[in-house]
Structure 1
Amino acid sequence: MSATAPVGPVGTSADPSAPGLVTPRPRIARPRPRALSLGLRLLGPLVLLLAWIWASASGTLSSSLLASPRQVLSAFRELWTSGQLGDALSVSLTRAGLGLAFGATAGLVLGVVTGFSRLGEELLDSSLQLLRTIPFLSLVPLFMVWFGIGETARVVLIAVATSFPMYVSAAGGVRNTDRKLVEAMRSFGMGRLALVREVVLPGALPALLSGLRLSMTLSVIALIAAEEINSTAGIGYLMSTAQEYSRTDILTVCILIYALIGLFADGAARLLERLLMPWRTQGAAR
């Protein structure tokens, strides 16, 4: 009695070599062309710009509510040639950079301590989680009382706002580090500081970069709030002056500058992620 091929559901042969059946091919993820990807990213902003131009030209959007793109471009040229925009941008970037540096460093150190040490977690985590729930904007009046209306209050406000995203990401990343690897390195006599530097931080790198990206984005939001504390320089000062004279063109320029700063910060975080973890972008499907 001859052997028969196994029969699959509804009477079809389960043998891939049987007539009428085609072996399925694995789906190969092909990278998207760079020009197409860039065009898709620019499509949304281009549509918004065209809608803005049309609404201003047709009179649907009054210049008293929002200046036209031509007026905004003229105001940008006026501020740049007079040097006001360059000076304001330098002051604002310094504030955001200092606050981010202090805040991200503090969040990283606290996150490593609470994530790596059970004693550190028991002593610090509950208090830090309580402070994290306080909106940083509610601290503005208190910081004005403590530090006055100078640069210290603004930098501290940005530092507080940016420290907690880094803290949460660092603590979570450190806790998720491979414990078997940590114990193995300890058995070889590696000290605690070397263990953190050589094993824990590299293992938590994806979480650390995610926290840095959130902190960089939040630093721009905190900068806007910080520059409302009686600023005499910076982008926020230009906005306050423009508000007094109802200059919607200058207000729009300042808003766009804030948006560009945030976009640059996010792009810098993405670039840092690609440089430090190239395998994530190489293996990702486009």
Structure 2
Amino acid sequence: MTATLHTAPVTIPDTTDQRVVRRRLGPGHRIRFSFWFGPALALAIWSIGSATGLIKPAILSAPWDVVVAFQDQWVNHDLLGNIVASLQRSLVGLTLGVVTGAVLAVISGLSRFGESLIDGPIQIKRSVPTLAIIPLFIAWFGIGEEMKVITIALISLVPIYIHTHNGLRGIDGKYAELAETIGINHGEFIRHVVLPGALPGFLLGMRFAVTSSLLGLVVVEHYNAVAGIGYMITLAEQYGQTDVIVVGLVIYGIFGYCADSAVRFTGRRVLAWRQTLEG
């Protein structure tokens, strides 16, 4: 008698579906509009503290007083003009810093000779706070717009250079071996492997650069500015208008938060091919 062995069919799990399930149910699941939860919670705590008297008006104006001050600045003063002036300074300085930092990072990251010329001075600059150099910039460029833009650009340059350079140097050597195996030339390897591989570092540097540019903006607008949010805050400080000061700080915060969110959104779109906890 011959026994017949019946085996169950082997089912190969669909790894793609499993990844989708983990992405839907796991810790990487993204909640719609979740980036507003933190600011909304901070606003709620601020409102409750002001309403209950835990936060004194002399220390921090209540949110509703800040809204009234915002309306007054918008209607009776040139708040829109101050916002445009600050955005223009920040945008011009940030653009100059990002372009210069990226170019220097590419030259240094792709060439040993370029690294020997560029990396040392950048690292020295990194250890010297840019804000400490402002008196020297005033002596060189005066106290006009040129000094302000150059200061913001120099502050933005360093994080772009550092993170882009690290991204270029962090490319896995196996890709170079693979390129040699399939016959990709040096130029194609840089365009299709090295530069896309360094893009996450560049975008991370952008997030730091945006924050740094706003830090520089806050400082330089206190030097002989005739327009801008910093100019408005300086006038409010002279007259003891804490609600107007808070208006300026809130606007700075909105600038930074929106800019950082825009960089993160761009990163998720551009780096959609990368499987990370965030995306």
Structure 2 length as normaliser, TM-score?
Answer: 0.82
The DSSP-based 3-state class of the residue aligned with 2:59 is: coil
Number of equivalences: 260
Partner of 1:94: 88
Q: 2 CA distance for matches of 1:239 and 1:129?
A: 34
Structure 1 residues 150 and 185 mapped into 2: Cα distance closer, same or farther (>3 Å)?
A: farther
Bigger Cα Rg: 1
Letter in 1 for 2:31: S
What's the CA shift string for 1:150-183, capped at 9, x where partnerless? 0010100010001011111111111123445457
| Consecutive unaligned residues in structure 2, runs of 5 or more | 1-17
1:262 corresponds to which of 256, 262, 267: 256
Q: 1:246 aligns with which of 240, 254, 257?
A: 240
Kindly indicate whether the alpha-carbon contact (under 8 Å) linking 1:29 and 1:285 is maintained by their aligned counterparts in 2. no
- Secondary structure of 1:279's aligned partner: coil
Number of the residue aligned with 2:3:
none
Q: Which of 244, 260, 268 does residue 274 from structure 1 map onto?
A: 268
Out of 183-192 and 224-233, give the one that drifted further.
183-192
Cα distance in 2 for partners of 1:203, 1:47 equals: 37
Tell me if 1:235 matches 2:229.
yes
How far did 1:260 drift? 0.4
Q: Distance in 2 between matches of 1:160 and 1:87?
A: 25
Task: Answer with 271-280 or 110-119: which moved more.
Answer: 271-280
Q: Residue 23 of structure 2 contacts residue 29 of structure 2 at CA under 8 Å; is this kept in 1?
A: no
**How do 1:2-41 residues align onto structure 2 when only pairs under 5 Å count?**
28-31=21-24, 37-38=31-32, 41=35
Q: Which residues of structure 1 form unaligned runs of 5+? A: 1-25
Q: CA deviation at 1:42?
A: 4.3
CA distance 1:270–1:75, change in 2 (3 Å)? same
Q: Spell out, residue by residue over 1:51-71, the C-alpha distance to the aligned partner (whole angstroms, 9 max, x if none).
A: 333333334433232222221
Q: How much identity, in percent, do the aligned residues show? A: 36
- Counterpart of 1:176 in structure 2 is 170
Deviates more, 1:225-234 or 1:252-261: 225-234
Match status 1:147 vs 2:141: yes
Residues 227-271 of structure 1 deviation map (CA, whole Å, 9 limit, x = unaligned): 121211100000000001111110010000000000011001011
Q: Per the alignment, do residues 101 and 44 of structure 1 end up closer, same or farther by CA in structure 2, a change over 3 Å counting?
A: closer
TM-score by length of 1: 0.80
Map 1:90-169 → 2, pairs under 5 A: 90-169=84-163
Task: State the distance in 2 between where 1:285 and 1:238 align.
Answer: 38
- Aligned-residue RMSD, C-alpha: 3.0
Distance change >3 Å, CA 154–CA 72, structure 1 → 2: same
